[in-house]
Amino acid sequence: MEQPKAYIESGILELYVLGQLKGQEINEVEAMAFKYPEVLQEIRAIEIALERYALSEAIQPRAGLDNEIISVLDTPAQHSDTSGQDLPTIQRTANAKIRNLVYALAACIALLLVATIALISANSRLTEAKQQISALNLQNRKFVATVGFMKQTNSDLEKIAAMVDDPNWAIVKLAGTKAQPSSKMMVYWNKKNKNVILDKSKMVLPVNDTGHQYQLWALVNGKPVDLGVFDMKSDSTSILLQMKEIRLAQAFAVTLEKRGGSPSPTMDQMVVMGGVTI
């Protein structure tokens, strides 16, 4: 069951136990704990872990701190009435009980102070650990993406090598026009199975904006035939780009058109063109 697992790994349960959530977030956590036993179990595990951590990191108060607190809170009282007479026994007993309560209160304050310091320290270390885990996850995703890119690149290079050795594949080099003299690209066309593939590693075109796309055309007996649109991206994750099939072609060209392509090429927006030599 992916939903409770992802919810547990999100880190929100730690914030719930530490009291860092409010309103709707608290209701959401409690609803998930009611619905999924594993979420409730994880909350209990976090509470136990924090309690153990707080006890292991507890800072012992310095010697004599309790006496100092008591000396401030316990102001000596005269056990006599307005006439100088000793107070009745029941009143002295009451005063003794109050003094004992003051001692207990001072001890509770000292314990609360120690627990608060330990909890703050635990919360700080937990936040630091979560940041380190997040950084490691980001590095892992980058590594996986890099490995995937290398595998795809290696596969594309093997296909290119095979196409170069296969006589059925024509390699058509497209050169820049007057509008874009520095542009160039390469098209692989299989005359037998009609496949058309672009080599993005050999593609030198300006990066198009979001409102436009490049459109590939085949010139067939003097008429342009649409072979599909593509974007020029600097962060391409693959080398080869499959286009529409064509059975016959004397030349290939690329124009810059509105996004989605055009039924006919805009001639003054032609950026590259090349003829089929074989």
pLDDT given for residue 162 in this prediction: 77
pLDDT given for residue 147 in this prediction: 46
Would you place residue 265 in the very low, low, confident or very high pLDDT band (cuts 50, 70, 90)?
very high
Cα 226 to Cα 173, 219, 236, 276: the distances in Å are: 18, 9, 23, 17
CA distance 176 to 186: 11
Closest CA to 209 of 254, 267, 258: 258
> Rounded mean pLDDT of 208-236?
91
> Rounded mean pLDDT of 29-54?
87
Sign of CA dihedral 151, 153, 171, 230: positive
Residue 62 pLDDT exceeds 70: no
Top pLDDT among 2 and 186 is at: 186
Q: Are 265 and 227 in contact (CB under 8 A)?
A: no
- pTM score above 0.75: no
List, in order, residues 6 or more apart from 65 with CB less than 8 Å away.
110
Would you place residue 80 in the very low, low, confident or very high pLDDT band (cuts 50, 70, 90)?
very low
Top pLDDT among 108 and 29 is at: 29
Instruction: Flag the least confident range among 38-47, 142-151, 193-202.
Output: 142-151
> Rounded mean pLDDT of 245-270?
96
In eight-state DSSP terms, residue 267 is G
For residue range 2-28, what is the model confidence (pLDDT) as tens digits? 588 888 888 898 888 888 888 899 999
One-letter amino acid for residue 182 of the chain: S
pLDDT given for residue 120 in this prediction: 76
> Rounded mean pLDDT of 190-211?
92
Residue 166 pLDDT exceeds 70: yes
pLDDT given for residue 169 in this prediction: 92
Instruction: Flag the least confident range among 72-86, 202-216, 232-246.
Output: 72-86
DSSP string, 185-254: EEEEEETTT--EEEEGGG-B-PPP-TTEEEEEEEEETTEEEEEEEE---TT-S-SEEE----S--SEEEE
First-to-last CA distance in the chain?
Answer: 58
Instruction: Flag the least confident range among 33-47, 55-69, 250-264.
Output: 55-69
> Rounded mean pLDDT of 109-114?
71
> Rounded mean pLDDT of 38-44?
91
Cα 94 to Cα 76, 104, 108: the distances in Å are: 14, 15, 21
